[in-house]
């Protein structure tokens, strides 16, 4: 793609935006038609049980992203106004500093197998480790395709954990899931090994399931935001102050991380991935040091610029699940131009950092409500009963007056209807 910078994109009608985004991202007629049609009821009926309809969420495109030197348009599915605008704005401010640089630890997940009622848990732990090769081979036999692609079980770790109901021996299968999110692969392996774990420990296995604390599947991103680009040194200092509170105060960290997930979840949803898995991973990782903390860090470099960084688990896939079935998700993956699940996870990290940067910058300057509420004004106009031809007018009046409420919208609607 030449550039993800498309000035005035937000002013275009949706069909024009689609045309332009499709051109830039190299989408073909097929993907464009998938985006227009979306999921059909008969397709939905094959995805989950007892289908009776669909709840639709807007899909937008964040512009301006430069990630590892590549120009990327980011498809984002969200019901929250201002998320996509904030991401685009943040990405624009990252460009003079070279955009986002990302890395990852690779697509590795854990499955847990819990043996209970073990009389000699430490000896049992060693017995599992003694039979590690045999266990790994048995697990890999369950997914020869994954092994062919270079994935499969790479290691086994065993923990003795004290609990309210006595000690437990918990084996972790460490599985490289390649381009799969991996829940199906690792759960099948864990279930297959359970009887042998019972033999080796003399205990009884209950749980055999993936851990969503995907601390071996970390995605990272960093960016330099030039001080002169973001409002000067006072803004840099204000943002560092705001971020510092999120490092030490869980009340602030929860909101700070919610803002990060505004961006990440929107990409996860747009690409048909499991939003709950990624959110569970992010929040549990935020608490991994024993206290819930922010997932990003902000520092000032020697030039006085703001340097932001993020690290979080990102368990997403490109094969299996809705990603390969849902037409909108297939088009979103094509738009991102990602070749692997790992690529996707790194883009998500960049979007999370960018979203957080945009929120912190607004919080350290004018606050979020003006931008948020002027975008929200259209929703309020609809809630107040504005007909299609009045929505824009009512929203614009409320935004100009800085009085955005259902009551005010109703007053403006009656004035407009009278005139």
274 is catalytic: yes
Compare residues 322 and 353 and give the one whose CB is closer to ligand MEV: 353
Q: How far is the CB of 87 from ligand MEV (least distance, A)?
A: 12
Q: How far is the CB of 358 from ligand MEV (least distance, A)?
A: 9
Which residue has the closest beta carbon to ligand MEV? 259
**Sheet of strand 168-176: strand arrangement:** 152-161, 168-176, 108-116, 204-211
Q: How far is the CB of 260 from ligand MEV (least distance, A)?
A: 8
Helix (H) or strand (E) holding 264: helix 250-270
Helix (H) or strand (E) holding 355: helix 341-364
Query: Tokens 């560092």 identify what position?
Result: 240
Compare residues 197 and 253 and give the one whose CB is closer to ligand MEV: 253
State the burial class of residue 124 (Cβ atoms within 10 Å of its Cβ: 0-12, 13-18, 19+). Answer: buried
Nearest to 384 by CA among 353, 406, 366, 359: 406
Do 92 and 5 touch, CB atoms closer than 8 A? yes
Q: How far is the CB of 257 from ligand MEV (least distance, A)?
A: 8
Q: What is the dihedral of CA 222, 227, 231, 237, to 10 degrees?
A: 80
Compare residues 63 and 262 and give the one whose CB is closer to ligand MEV: 262
Nearest to 333 by CA among 259, 269, 265, 263: 269
Helix (H) or strand (E) holding 101: strand 100-104
Binding site for ligand MEV (CB under 6 A): 80, 255-256, 258-259, 262, 359-360, 363, 368
46 is catalytic: no
Alpha helices in 95-249, H assignment, sequence order: 121-130, 132-141, 144-148, 183-201, 227-230, 233-248
Q: How far is the CB of 379 from ligand MEV (least distance, A)?
A: 14
Cα of 365 vs its chain's centroid, Å: 26
Query: Tokens 């049992």 identify what position?
Result: 124
Catalytic residue among 68, 80, 120, 279: 80
258 is catalytic: yes
Compare residues 56 and 255 and give the one whose CB is closer to ligand MEV: 255
HSE, side-chain direction, 13 A CA sphere, residue 330: 16
For residue 367, what is the DSSP state? Answer: -
Q: Which residues in 318-341 are b (16+ Cβ under 10 Å) and which e?
A: bebbbbeebbbbbbbbbbbebeeb
Alpha helices in 41-176, H assignment, sequence order: 41-47, 83-94, 121-130, 132-141, 144-148
Compare residues 80 and 249 and give the one whose CB is closer to ligand MEV: 80
80 is catalytic: yes
Compare residues 279 and 411 and give the one whose CB is closer to ligand MEV: 279
Catalytic residue among 31, 71, 274, 342: 274
Compare residues 17 and 258 and give the one whose CB is closer to ligand MEV: 258
Q: What is the dihedral of CA 381, 386, 390, 396, to 10 degrees?
A: -10
Compare residues 369 and 417 and give the one whose CB is closer to ligand MEV: 369
Residues with a known catalytic role: 80, 258, 274, 372
């Amino acid at each position: 793609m030449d550039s993800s910078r498309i000035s005035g994109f937000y002013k275009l009608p949706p069909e024009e935006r689609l045309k332009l985004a499709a051109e830039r991202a190299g989408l073909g007629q097929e993907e464009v038609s998938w985006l227009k049609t979306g999921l059909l009821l008969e397709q939905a009926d094959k995805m989950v049980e007892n289908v009776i309809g669909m709840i639709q969420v807007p899909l937008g495109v964040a512009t301006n992203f430069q990630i590892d030197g590549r120009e990327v348009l980011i498809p984002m599915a969200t019901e929250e106004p201002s998320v996509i605008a904030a991401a685009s704005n943040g990405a624009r401010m990252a460009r003079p500093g070279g955009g986002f640089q990302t890395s990852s630890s690779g697509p590795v997940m854990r499955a847990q197998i819990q043996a209970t009622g073990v009389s000699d848990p430490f000896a049992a732990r060693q017995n599992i480790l003694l039979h590690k090769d045999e266990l790994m081979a048995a697990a890999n036999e369950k997914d020869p395709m994954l092994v062919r692609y270079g994935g499969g079980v790479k290691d086994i770790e065993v923990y003795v954990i004290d609990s309210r109901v006595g000690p437990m021996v918990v084996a972790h299968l460490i599985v490289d899931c390649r381009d799969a999110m991996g829940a199906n692969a690792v759960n099948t392996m864990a279930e297959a090994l359970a009887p042998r774990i019972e033999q080796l420990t003399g205990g009884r296995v209950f749980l055999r399931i993936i851990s969503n604390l995907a601390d071996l599947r970390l995605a990272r991103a960093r960016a330099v935001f030039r001080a002169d680009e973001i409002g000067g040194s006072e803004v840099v200092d204000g943002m560092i102050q705001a971020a510092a509170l999120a490092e030490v105060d869980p009340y602030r960290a929860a909101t700070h991380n919610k803002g990060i997930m505004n961006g990440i979840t929107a990409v996860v949803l747009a690409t048909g991935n499991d939003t709950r898995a990624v959110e569970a991973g992010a929040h549990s990782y935020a608490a991994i040091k024993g206290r819930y903390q922010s997932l990003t860090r902000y520092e000032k470099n020697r030039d006085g610029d703001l340097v932001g960084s993020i690290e979080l688990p990102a368990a997403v896939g490109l094969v299996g699940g809705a990603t390969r079935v849902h037409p909108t998700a297939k088009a979103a993956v094509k738009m991102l131009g990602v070749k692997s699940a790992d690529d996707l996870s790194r883009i998500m990290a960049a979007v999370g950092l960018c979203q957080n940067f945009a929120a912190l910058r607004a919080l350290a300057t004018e606050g979020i409500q003006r931008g948020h509420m002027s975008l929200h004004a259209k929703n309020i106009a609809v809630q107040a009963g504005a007909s299609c031809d009045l929505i824009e007018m009512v929203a614009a009046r409320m935004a100009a007056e800085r009085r955005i409420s259902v009551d005010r919208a109703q007053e403006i609607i009656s004035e407009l209807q009278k005139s």
